[in-house]
Amino acid sequence: MRHNFPSIKVTAFMAFYRLLWLILMPLVLLYLNWRARREPMYTSNIRERFGFGVKQTGEWVWVHAVSLGEFRSAVPLIDELLARSQRVLITHFTPASRQVSMDHYGDQIAEGMVVVCWIPFDYSMAFKRFFRRFSITYGLVMEVEFWPGMIMSARAANIPLFLCNGQYPNKSYERDKHRVLSSRDIVPGFAGVLVKSNRMAEPFRELGLDKIAITGEMRFEQPLNQSHIDAAVLVRSQLSGRPVLTFASAVKDEDALFIAAMQALKSRMPEALIIYVPRKPEHFDRAADLIQASGLSVARRSAIFDSAFEPNQALLCEVLLGDSLGEMHFYLALADQIVVGGGFVPQGSHNIIEPLSQRKPTLVGPNTWTIDFPAIEAIEAGVVRQVSANELADALLDLSGYASADAFLSSMGGSVAKTLDAVSDFLEQ
């Protein structure tokens, strides 16, 4: 680790940052109240966001997973920690991730082995209260969370905080080089980083970190929901051979493009069933309205199936809207081919690991900087195809040219064990 951290610049910024939080707190609370109009959980247990809560006994490993994608990445790691009889504190920012986390670990919560709560607001006093509630052995921050208050507060409390399954996307890193103050100045505050590939280690080496371990991608070890897959197999048997294409994690700015591709596809393959799964729950109603307005018949998963995926009516629609959370394995298992959203707009592509884990032919857009790993490797291996917006409709009709995913997947295993071994080594140094 660089010996001059924190720099004078970072120290001065943190004083300003703490003041800024005090000034802007009313606006932050107004924002949460605004979000709560659609998702009431945003304002539930609000005291936790200020660091308040019941003090817990015992030693805890802290896993921070800001949203649903990060939580899913963390599940194999959390499962292994629990298998080692380690208590796990899980923090989130979004309601979707918190609810899925609480549902997933309900039994362990009841046993006192897991606590799920909000991540505190990113200022020192909130984290001081938070750290008084838990005796934390070390913390693992999933993916790309470079929050200065969290990093600096953990250092002040002598809690080793590791970036886990980490990355510093090249686009972000190059942009930050030209800023007076950026994540580049804060990242050296981690006690160590555990990255997905040697290529992804380079930015951290350039920043002077000396505790770097290459541990791979934990999402490849996510357990598949076999009951959802089995349900999909049963539904497929009732479709009379209809081809199925799934648009997964579509963001709202992609709606027009994807709907145009769906219309083109239906004109050439009218028997196809298209599954459209928006990224966020607040996008469900808008997506349904736009699809209906395009002339395509649409039915919602919530109307067609009960909670056990038993159909309430025949699946005769052209488009099935996936208006549910935590059921992506079902939507992917139904598909002959999958389009992963996010990458057809500058926002950047979402997770390709879940479709690859089900060995599904997968398409991504031009903007894969958010998933540099494993997108570059997967495209080179021929298990993922990258297409432009203009190429999408034609690509949906062509299932040829994909390589088998088996060899690629076998090369990606073992990340959880590598991660915990690296953390143990860093703590002993």
Residue 160, C-beta contacts closer than 8 angstroms, at least 6 positions apart:
138, 139, 154, 191, 192, 426, 427
In whole angstroms, what is the distance from residue 322 CA to residue 286 CA?
13
The two tokens of residue 23 are 């000034």
Catalytic-labelled residue, pool 39, 59, 70, 271: 70
Q: Which long-range contacts (CB under 8 A, 24 or more apart) does 255-259 make?
A: 255/286, 255/287, 255/290, 256/290, 257/344, 257/389, 257/392, 258/339, 258/341, 258/344, 258/392, 259/290, 259/291, 259/294, 259/296
The string of DSSP letters for 365-425 reads -S--GGGHHHHHHHHHHTSEEE--GGGHHHHHT--TTPPPSHHHHHTT--HHHHHHHHHHH
Cis upstream peptide for 278 (omega within 30°): no
Rounded to 5 degrees, what are φ and ψ at 162? -110, 140
The total of other beta-carbon atoms located within 10 Å of residue 184's CB is: 18
380 included as an active-site residue: no
The two tokens of residue 68 are 């649903």
In whole angstroms, what is the distance from residue 86 CA to residue 187 CA?
27
Pairing of strands 319-321, 212-214: unpaired
Catalytic residue IDs = 70
